[in-house]
Amino acid sequence: MMIVARKDYIDYRVLKSKEAFDDVVLLAANQRWNSCINRLYYSCFYLVGALLYKYSIKAETHNGAKTQFNLHFIKAGKIDVKYGKLYSNLFDWRQESDYADFTEFDSKTVIPLLEQVSEMNKLLMDLINM
């Protein structure tokens, strides 16, 4: 197993988040709304993972990351509840868009999420960089 320095791991997750958000822009331009949901979720997920890792909070699954994020940052009052709700919705919608048949998201749902996720990611980055 390769040993990676904490900062290198966090930097890697930040890069993955930025790549996922860049994918969202390309997918939205091509009206690939379900794929946008997937990448929006992952854009947040990578930063949530980096934030948890920074504070040595273990989460081994996507659901675990969501639970730990809510416990240590939303319920603790460090992050506004609206971002906890956004992350939970993205978690659910990503699963729906990836695994449920006949689930179709549209521009009216997805386009507003771009700004919301961008705001959340900025907030997460601020916490990561503290």
CATH number at residue 61: 1.20.120.330
Domain tally for the chain? 1
In a domain, 34, yes or no: yes
Please check the confidence at residue 43 and state whether its pLDDT lies above 90.
Answer: yes
For 98-108, the pLDDT digits (tens) are 787 788 899 99
In a domain, 17, yes or no: yes
In a domain, 1, yes or no: no
Model pLDDT, residue 4: 67
In a domain, 59, yes or no: yes
d(CA 19, CA 91): 18
In a domain, 53, yes or no: yes
Dihedral sign, CA of 85, 48, 52, 125? negative
Please check the confidence at residue 2 and state whether its pLDDT lies above 70.
Answer: no
In a domain, 31, yes or no: yes
Domain that includes residue 88, residue range: 6-128
d(CA 45, CA 17): 8
